């Protein structure tokens, strides 16, 4: 069983449009792989907007803790407010409380409180779901805004997708990764067999792509690049191609700017399902064939 992760150096490059189109192509009759889909962009999960899944199970995600003060045992000594580097301890007329949004969960106050009246309370940080979509099983999640531990939730979503793939003999886990290079991206990239980086020919395109390529290289994950909206700024596209050639990274596809992509998002469909003969859909078909070849070669 292989794991393909789709990444981008920043948000808005069209990563999810490519992931949704791949999910659609994987559901067609002649597909070379049977796939489980994982939306690992837990901070802004939007693959579900395109795949229209029906949730079949929903679980709470407990992540991180915040401090809580028992007012009955508090002597109002003020030590907790002094040690808190996050200004999370609030004081009003000798009543000490903790602002759960500001609390970082460092537990410094717990160790310093002379009356042992502060406890760390685990918090619900989000939910994760197993769903059925028209294009196969989908695992996805939502992190409550301002909650941390998104890397942990990404790992959980991927693990669940992998378990189902192993149990039911799927050949591929298709992961729509988070954008950027932070902790959730590290969680999404680790353990992957292949990464497809979706780059955009903007002024910062090479820089954004380079950052994410460093992450995949760190985890020894083979990486391919595709350029989205490749025809809107040819100099940027050339810069990405030159960089990739120098670094020995294959550019396996160039997707043209195509209004059908936006229309398909509005309609809640992968572009390849919405308008199979649009320029973007045709380019994604070709891109998919290249990706399939690389996965199949790696199995030999
Ligand atoms: S350190 Fe403990 S006793 Fe002192 S103000 Fe804070 S909660 Fe109250
Ligand atoms: S756990 Fe850390 S951040 Fe939270 S109130 Fe205590 S000292 Fe402040």
Count of structural domains within the chain: 2
Query: Is the C-beta atom of 76 inside 6 A of ligand 1?
Result: yes
Q: Is residue 59 part of a domain?
A: no
> Is position 175 within any domain?
yes
What CATH number did the domain enclosing 16 receive?
Answer: 3.40.50.300
pLDDT at 188: 79
Query: What confidence score (pLDDT) does residue 225 get?
Result: 97
Block residue for tokens 């907790």 = 80
Q: 72, 104, 124 — which closes off a domain?
A: 124
Q: Are residues 254 and 111 in the same domain?
A: no
Whether residue 119 is contained in a domain is answered as yes
CATH number of the domain where residue 94 is located: 3.30.70.20
- Give the closest residue (by CA) to ligand 2 atom 8: 84
Residues 167 and 232 in one domain: yes
> Do 99 and 143 sit in the same domain of this protein?
no
Picking from 77, 94, 124, the residue at the C-terminal end of a domain is 124
Residue 284 sits in the same domain as residue 225:
yes
pLDDT at position 208:
87
Q: Which residues of the chain have pLDDT under 70?
A: 146-149
Same domain? For 290 and 171 the reply is yes
Same domain membership, residue 167 and residue 195: yes
Residue 194's pLDDT is what?
96
Looking at residue 204, its pLDDT comes to 84
176 and 94, same structural domain? no
Query: Which of 76, 97, 124 lies at the terminal end of a domain, its last residue?
Result: 124
Q: Dihedrals φ, ψ of 209, to 5°?
A: -65, -40
Query: Considering the domain boundaries, does residue 290 fall inside one?
Result: yes
Q: Which numbered ligand comes closest to the C-alpha of 105?
A: 2
Q: How far is the CA of 87 from the centre of ligand 1 (A)?
A: 14
Q: What is the pTM of this model?
A: 0.85
pLDDT at 147: 64
CA-closest residue to ligand 2 atom 2? 106
Residues 207 and 156 in one domain: yes
Same domain, 142 and 120: no
129 lies in some domain = no
Q: Is 284 in the pocket of ligand 2 (CB under 6 A)?
A: no
73 lines ligand 1 (CB under 6 A): no
Measure the CA–CA gap between 177 and 157, rounded to whole angstroms.
11
Asked if the structure places residue 57 within a domain, the reply is no
- Cβ(69) to ligand 2 under 6 A? no
Residues 138 and 246 in one domain: yes
Judge if 138 and 238 occupy the same domain.
yes
Domain limits for position 98: 64-124
- Residue 58: inside a domain: no
In a shared domain, residues 208 and 115: no
Task: Please check whether residue 276 lies inside any domain of the structure.
Answer: yes
């Amino acid at each position: 069983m292989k794991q393909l992760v789709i990444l981008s150096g920043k948000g808005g490059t069209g990563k999810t449009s490519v992931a949704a189109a791949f999910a659609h192509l994987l559901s067609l009759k002649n597909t070379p792989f049977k796939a489980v889909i994982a939306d690992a962009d837990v901070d802004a999960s939007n693959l579900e907007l395109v795949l229209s899944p029906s949730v079949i199970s929903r679980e709470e995600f407990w992540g991180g803790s915040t401090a809580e003060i028992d007012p009955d045992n508090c002597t109002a000594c003020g030590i907790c407010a002094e040690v808190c580097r996050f200004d999370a301890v609030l004081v009003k007329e000798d009543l000490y409380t903790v602002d759960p949004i500001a609390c970082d969960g460092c537990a410094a106050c717990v160790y310093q409180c002379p009356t042992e009246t502060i406890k760390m309370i685990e918090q619900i940080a989000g939910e994760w779901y197993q769903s059925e979509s028209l294009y196969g099983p989908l695992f996805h999640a939502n992190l409550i805004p301002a909650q941390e531990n998104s890397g942990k939730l990404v790992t959980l979503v991927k693990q669940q997708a992998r378990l189902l793939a192993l149990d039911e003999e799927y050949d591929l886990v298709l992961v729509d990764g988070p954008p950027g290079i932070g902790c959730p991206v590290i969680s999404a990239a680790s353990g992957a067999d292949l990464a497809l980086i979706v780059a955009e020919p903007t002024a910062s395109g090479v820089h954004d792509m380079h950052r994410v390529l460093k992450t995949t290289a760190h985890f020894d994950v083979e990486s391919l690049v595709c350029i989205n909206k490749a025809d809107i700024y040819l100099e940027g596209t050339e810069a990405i191609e030159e960089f990739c050639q120098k670094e020995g990274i294959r550019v396996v596809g160039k997707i043209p700017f195509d209004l059908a992509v936006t229309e398909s998002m509005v309609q809640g469909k992968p572009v390849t399902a919405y308008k199979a003969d649009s320029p973007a859909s045709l380019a994604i078909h070709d891109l998919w064939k290249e990706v399939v070849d690389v996965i199949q070669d790696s199995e030999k």
